């Protein structure tokens, strides 16, 4: 039998390289934990740890001492339980009908946000003769998930059959420090907690931890900031960069004034230009909208920012390298890195950094560094 082939060089496989700095991730958690002023610092690792890979990210956070994690779906919690056998794992999207045995089997903590969910969990606990843990989600203005004020009293009566381990709510716009909404929500949360049995509480997400009136309470649950996103838009990013993304040039060509590029001929060369085609498209999370905004996305190559020209297609993009240094087939260009942050790419794509991270394509070659 022939030996197994060595791992292919990404140049040979045509892959974009996504480099993930787990040391920076760990330091970001330590910075946030220190900022929490004695409150527990958990980690939100839903959506495959914001696109960076649940297993390596969770292991890196466990090594730092993180003991509580939040994911969105039951299936994510089941996967995380294999990686973190002793951690507390909260399921933000609540309790799907008839799922109580699955939660119990994997020792997952549902975040209950409605009377039907609370009643079903309480009934299951009575049947099992066990006070299993659950968190209580209080709606303070999002109108998405969570108990409204009118349901707090009946919910409180049902909680005697299980162990309420956390009361939580979610900020509407904590990143907007000029908005009065955060203060209003903090007040509403305090009023709601007074109607429920005593239990630890959590309100701060990444941006919430940087509010002037940040209510650290008993537990903070950052997500975006862990992965290098800026929790303080408009100010210097207090977090370390975690991700770098580099695409490869597949072809370089000269075009004349009047020539077009890409689908539907949306870009026309104003003069003789030098273009490079990259192995990156919207199937990889390089959003098609990025070439349609007034700012426009760009790459960084050979010392210059190189704008995307024409429409971004499924697997390919075209950049104008006329003002950059010499570039050729096989050279790599920065999409995310020292010169282009997640927040910068998001702004130029007409979206938010959360979407950029969570859409990072499965075709990338992920390289984890320390």
Q: What is the mean pLDDT of residues 73-96?
A: 98
Residue 265: exposed, middle, or buried by beta-carbon count in 10 A (0-12, 13-18, 19+)? Answer: exposed
Q: What is the mean pLDDT of residues 17-27?
A: 98
Q: How many residues does the chain have?
A: 370
Residue 313 has pLDDT above 90, yes or no: yes
Average pLDDT of the residues of the chain: 95
The whole-angstrom separation of Cα 143 and Cα 170 is 10
Residue 2 has pLDDT above 60, yes or no: no
Residue 32 has pLDDT above 90, yes or no: yes
Coil, helix or strand at residue 103? helix
The tokens describing 23, both together, are: 């040391």
Coil, helix or strand at residue 370? coil
Contact assessment for residue 146 and residue 172, using Cβ atoms and an 8 Å cutoff: no
> Which superfamily does CATH assign the domain made up of 243-369 to?
Lyase, Ornithine Decarboxylase; Chain A, domain 1 (2.40.37.10)
Question: Which single residue is written with the structure tokens 């008993």?
Answer: 218
For 227-243, what is each residue's pLDDT tens digit?
999 999 989 999 999 99
150: left (phi over 0), alpha (psi -120 to 50) or beta: alpha
Question: What is each CA distance from 2 to 7, 8, 9, 31, 157, in whole angstroms?
Answer: 15, 16, 19, 49, 67
Q: Are strands 243-255 and 17-21 parallel, antiparallel or unpaired?
A: antiparallel
The tokens describing 41, both together, are: 């610092």
Contact assessment for residue 69 and residue 91, using Cβ atoms and an 8 Å cutoff: no
Residues with active-site annotation: 46, 263
Q: What is the mean pLDDT of residues 304-317?
A: 97
The tokens describing 45, both together, are: 């690792």
What does the pLDDT read at residue 221?
98
- Comparing 320 with 176, the larger pLDDT belongs to 320
**Fold observed for domain 36-227:** TIM Barrel (3.20.20)
What does the pLDDT read at residue 8?
59
The whole-angstrom separation of Cα 213 and Cα 189 is 14
Beta-carbon neighbour count of residue 365 at 10 Å?
15
DSSP string, 160-193: GGSEEEEEE---S-TT-TT-SHHHHHHHHHHHHH
Contact assessment for residue 58 and residue 49, using Cβ atoms and an 8 Å cutoff: yes
Contact assessment for residue 301 and residue 327, using Cβ atoms and an 8 Å cutoff: yes
What does the pLDDT read at residue 298?
97
Q: What is the mean pLDDT of residues 218-230?
A: 98
| Per-residue pLDDT band at 1 (split at 50, 70, 90) | very low
Q: What is the mean pLDDT of residues 211-236?
A: 96
Structural domain boundaries of the chain? 36-227, 243-369
Residue 13 has pLDDT above 90, yes or no: no
For 277-290, what is each residue's pLDDT tens digit?
999 999 999 999 99
The tokens describing 80, both together, are: 């995380």
For 179-212, what is each residue's pLDDT tens digit?
889 999 999 999 999 999 999 999 999 999 999 9
């Amino acid at each position: 039998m022939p030996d197994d082939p060595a791992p292919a060089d990404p140049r040979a496989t045509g892959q974009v390289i996504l480099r993930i700095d787990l040391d920076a991730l760990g330091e970001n958690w330590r910075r946030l934990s220190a900022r929490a002023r004695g409150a527990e610092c958990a980690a939100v690792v839903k959506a495959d740890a914001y696109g960076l890979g649940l297993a390596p990210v969770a292991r890196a956070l466990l090594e730092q001492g993180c003991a509580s994690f939040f994911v969105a779906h039951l299936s994510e919690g089941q996967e995380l339980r294999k990686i973190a056998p002793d951690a507390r794992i909260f399921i933000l999207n609540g309790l799907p009908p008839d799922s109580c045995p699955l939660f119990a089997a994997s020792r997952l903590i549902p975040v209950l946000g409605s009377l039907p969910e609370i009643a079903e969990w309480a009934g299951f606990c009575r049947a099992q003769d066990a006070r299993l843990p659950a968190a209580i989600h209080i709606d303070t203005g999002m109108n998405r998930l969570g108990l409204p004020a009118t349901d707090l009293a009946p919910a409180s009566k049902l909680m005697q059959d299980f162990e309420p381990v956390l009361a939580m709510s979610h900020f509407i716009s904590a990143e907007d420090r000029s908005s009065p909404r955060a203060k209003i929500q903090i007040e509403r949360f305090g009023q709601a907690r007074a109607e429920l049995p005593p239990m630890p509480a959590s309100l701060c997400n990444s941006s919430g931890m940087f509010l002037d009136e940040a209510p650290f309470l008993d537990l903070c649950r950052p997500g975006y900031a862990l992965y290098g996103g800026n929790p303080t838009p408009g100010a210097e990013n207090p977090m370390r960069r975690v991700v770098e993304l580099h695409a490869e040039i597949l072809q370089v060509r000269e075009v004349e004034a009047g020539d077009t590029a890409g689908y539907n001929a949306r870009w026309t060369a104003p003069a003789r230009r030098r273009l490079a085609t990259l192995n990156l498209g919207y199937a990889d999370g390089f959003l098609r909208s990025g070439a349609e905004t007034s700012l426009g996305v760009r790459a960084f190559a050979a010392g210059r920012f190189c704008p995307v020209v024409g429409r971004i297609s499924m697997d390919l993009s075209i950049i104008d390298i006329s003002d950059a240094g010499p570039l050729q087939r096989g050279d790599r260009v920065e999409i995310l890195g020292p010169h282009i942050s997640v927040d910068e790419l998001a702004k130029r794509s007409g979206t938010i950094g959360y979407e950029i991270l969570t859409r990072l394509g499965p075709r990338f070659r992920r390289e984890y560094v320390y």
